[in-house]
Structure 1
Amino acid sequence: MAVVGLPPMGCLPIVITLNSPHGLKQRGCLDSYSSVARNYNKILQNELQFMHNSLAMFGARISYVDIYEPLMEMIQGPKKFGFDKIFNGCCGTGYLETSFLCNPLSYTCPDATKYMFWDSIHPTEKTYYYLFKNTLPILDFLLKD
């Protein structure tokens, strides 16, 4: 079983828009929100390790999947991954739209591969691809034999 941790919540476009004093002009991660995710992820890792140790004798495998650090790596070095936009999404204004507000009638950016987020919460296909590549060693461990 693979359990995914939280992303850097303070870097989500919707969190920046709704909680930053100058969310439309100066966009950047809000560490107070990301620190909650980091703390949660530490607790989750400890609990999963305890569960893994308890269930290992039955052949069960449980692993933590870190998405926080790979996403932070993309945010801190967007050009390395080919991103131009990391603090707003491709759909609509990129500040608040998500879910049903991003639909076939919504404006979308001309090139989603330049954006880290599709809407104000969810990553783009390209971002998910990098996260998947980062997760492969864990999946290989879980699926062996």
Structure 2
Amino acid sequence: MVIVGLPPIGCLPAVITLNSDAFHGRDCIESLSSVARDYNRLLQNHLKATQSSGPQIFYADIYTPLADIIQRRKFGFDVVNRGCCGTGLFEALYACNTKSPICPDASKYAFWDAIHPTESTYYIIFKSLASSFDFLL
């Protein structure tokens, strides 16, 4: 079984929008990302402590590759603090639909909408986990 940790929650466009104002830019909310890091650390410790001779449980770290994309500007994304769909600030699911404006090139965006990564971002996250999946298989 694979259990996925939390992403850097403070860097999701919707979270930035809810916790920022127009005068202070659109930076990650470090206090919220810190909570996600703490949770992931506790989750990993708990999984290690409960590991037995039964089915194996593996932890998948999505926080690090997503933080690399967003905070360290790795992988060349042009836009990391808003989504490609709509305004990219708050839309998700039904609010981002066929009538919503779409950016001209989604591969330059880390997020599709205000919560979900783009296909390019998911691919980078997958590649970061691929060696772990190879080990499992």
TM-score, length of structure 2 as denominator length: 0.94
Q: Which residue of 1 aligns with 2:48?
A: 49
2:83 is the counterpart of 1:84: no
**Aligned counterpart for 1:66 among listed residues 45, 56, 61:** 61
Where does the alignment leave 5 or more consecutive residues of structure 2 unmatched? none
2:32 is the counterpart of 1:38: no
**Aligned counterpart for 1:100 among listed residues 94, 100, 117:** 94
> Greater helix share, 1 or 2?
1
Structure 1 ranges of 4+ moved more than 6 A: none
**1:46-98 CA distance string (max 9 Å, x none):** 1111232x2xx23x2211111111111111332x4121000000000000000
**Aligned counterpart for 1:119 among listed residues 103, 107, 113:** 113
Q: Which residue of 2 aligns with 1:15?
A: 15
CA 1:51–1:137: 2 relative to 1, 3 Å: farther
For residue 60 of structure 2, what is the amino acid of its counterpart? V
Q: Distance in 1 between matches of 2:45 and 2:72?
A: 29
Between the two proteins, the alignment pairs up a number of residues equal to: 137
TM-score, length of structure 1 as denominator length: 0.89
TM-superposed deviation, 1:21: 3.5
Larger Rg: 1
**1:105-133 CA distance string (max 9 Å, x none):** 11110100000000000000000000000
1:62–1:142 contact (8 Å) kept in structure 2? no
